[in-house]
A and B are shown apart, each in its own frame.
Chain A
Amino acid sequence: MRLSGHEIRCARGGREVFSGLSFEAAAGEALAVVGPNGSGKTSLLRLIAGLLAPASGLIKLEGGDKELTLSEQAHYLGHRDALKPALSVSENLRFWRDYLGGAITNSAESLATVELDHAAQLPAAFLSAGQRRRLSLARLLTVQRPVWLLDEPTNALDTAGQKLFATLMGDHLARGGVIIAATHAPLGIPARTLRVGDAA
């Protein structure tokens, strides 16, 4: 499996964010997207996720499931957690498990992995920022998709959480997944660096 982008140009609101960006990530590889604020790290992730259309250039995934598009094989972990405050922790997770479909693992098990099993019946409104992050991570574990697109994934996580997350990312890479993460902090796993914004 190989995820690649060729000469991507991104424009938002009539303003060019970046252009001529190419990247490549093979199975088992992680790419750390770095760059100053406003350089287009989030835009790049959203382009790959199919949530934005590139002004020009090509993004493709080779060797994945031929029946599915790239966005159907990717997990996007953005700034917003996609959690409903009125639903409990396990209801939130079970919804995404049933809705996103595909290969799944036990949702109770993933909750235990991110150390949220004690709060499973608690409404998500009562979670702290770090716990919300952990619950989002549980979504990535419950529904298996080969490409992880992570936007500042370690935000709000405590030191133990960051360590746990590094382990989980390592496991994902070992299974042949691809990770592309926009980050300011070190990810804790070996990753190649992709610089955005400096070239322009």
Chain B
Amino acid sequence: MTALGALIQRDIRIALRVGGGALIGVLFFLTVVVLMPFAIGPDLALLARLGPAILWLGALLASLLTLDRLFMADHEDGSLDLITMSRTPLELSCAAKALAHWLAAGLPLIVATPVLGLLLNLDVSSTAAVALTLLAGTPALTFTGMIGAALAVTLHRGGLLLAVLVLPLSIPVLIFGVAASEAAITGPLSFGAPFSILCALSLFGLIVGPFAAAASLRHGLD
């Protein structure tokens, strides 16, 4: 337990220090969402209708942007060798790293959502709905993205590969995330069904992600 705590603490600390990845994701999210009203134009009704989709798309791309460094940095400086040789199972270490990544890079996106909702003419309850779906859905993005990040380490120079591998896996999350937000805002569908599936996707990723990533890392040692 101390070992995993230490790993989480270290990764968060690195992400928050100068040159860490935590701020990059939020800034990218901010840029995408802020630019959107300028591109679409001053049609408030249209903005409100597209709002949840824009927020979700921004969050998805932002989390993808920071994900490729998840294992790459540790691989480059040799830490990954020592992590593999530790007494903590590699699966748990992978899960801890993903959790740390989500806390440092995913959670700030959710915190930024209410501010960005204002720019997209979303009212309080709509913004709350989007933030809630992001809270339930972004862990799925991180934990399935982790598989791609591990493969990218194995295959070397896999930055682009990560996007190609992870995007198909994140499409269901996007579909149900936006569906749940829109159900909460405009109806007529119930909010519960897509939201439950979103939670299920996150739980599924939580189990499959660490095992798949650890298997990939073990296989790709060199």
Contact = CB atoms under 8 A, between A and B. Distances in A.
Interface of A: 12, 49-52, 68, 71-72, 74, 76, 78-84, 86-87, 91, 94-96, 98-102
Q: Binding site of B, secondary structure by majority: helix, strand, loop or mixed?
A: helix
Contacts of B160: none
A88 to B, nearest CB: 10
17 contacts: A49-B85, A78-B78, A79-B78, A80-B76, A80-B78, A81-B77, A86-B17, A86-B19, A86-B20, A87-B17, A94-B6, A95-B10, A98-B3, A99-B3, A100-B87, A101-B86, A102-B87
Interface of B: 2-3, 5-7, 9-10, 13-14, 17-20, 76-79, 81-88, 221-222
A4 to B, nearest CB: 19
B221 A52 contact: yes
B11 to A, nearest CB: 9
Nearest to A94: B6
Nearest to B7: A99
B222 A101 contact: no
Nearest to A80: B78
Contacts of B10: 84, 87, 91, 95, 99
A81 B78 contact: yes
Contacts of A76: 81-82, 85
A83 B86 CA distance: 16
A72 B19 contact: no
B87 A101 contact: yes
Given A72-B86, A101-B87, A84 B2 contact: no
B142 to A, nearest CB: 21
A87 B221 CA distance: 26
A11 to B, nearest CB: 12
Contacts of B85: 49-51, 71-72, 74, 76
Contacts of A52: 221-222
Contact of A82 (B6, B82, B221): B82
A74 B86 CA distance: 9
B20 to A, nearest CB: 7
A167 B110 CA distance: 54
A98 B6 contact: yes
Given A98-B2, A101-B2, A83 B84 contact: no
